[in-house]
Structures are given as structure tokens and as C-alpha cells.
Amino acid sequence: MGRRRGIMSERFKEELAKELGFYHKVSQHGWGEITAREAGSMVKRAVQIAEESMKRDKA
């Protein structure tokens, strides 16, 4: 089975981590060190951004 591709680009994930205040952890230790809460916060923020973008596109 092939490796699953991520939905979010690496750059987008880094920007979210910076916005949410834990990029230092990612830059020092990698994505494997973030907590489930931090990962959930990233997903929640990504959904918010997508929803805002969809609203702008409809207007």
C-alpha cells in the first residue's frame, strides 16, 4: 500500500503552527511531538479558513 498524501501542505501546516503558537516545538522536534490538542487546533483552524474562503467565493 502506498504512502498516504497529506491534505495540508507543509507550508500551510507551518503557518498554522506559527499562528497557534507551537511552531517552535515543530521546528525543534518535528510533527511527531505535537499533542493531540495541538493537532486538533490545527484542523479546527484549517476548517475555519476554508469556510471563510468559501463564503468569500460565494459573495
Could you give the CA distance from residue 53 to residue 40 in angstroms, rounded to a whole number?
Answer: 20
Confidence class of residue 36 from pLDDT cuts 50, 70 and 90? very high
Confidence class of residue 1 from pLDDT cuts 50, 70 and 90? very low
**Domain range annotation of the chain:** 10-58
- For the stretch 43-55, pLDDT in tens is 999 999 999 999 9
**Residue listed under C-alpha cell 501542505:** 9
Q: What is the pLDDT of residue 59?
A: 73
Residues 6+ apart with CB under 8 A from 34: 17, 22, 25, 26, 42
Q: What is the value of pTM for the model shown?
A: 0.81
> Is residue 4's pLDDT more than 70?
no
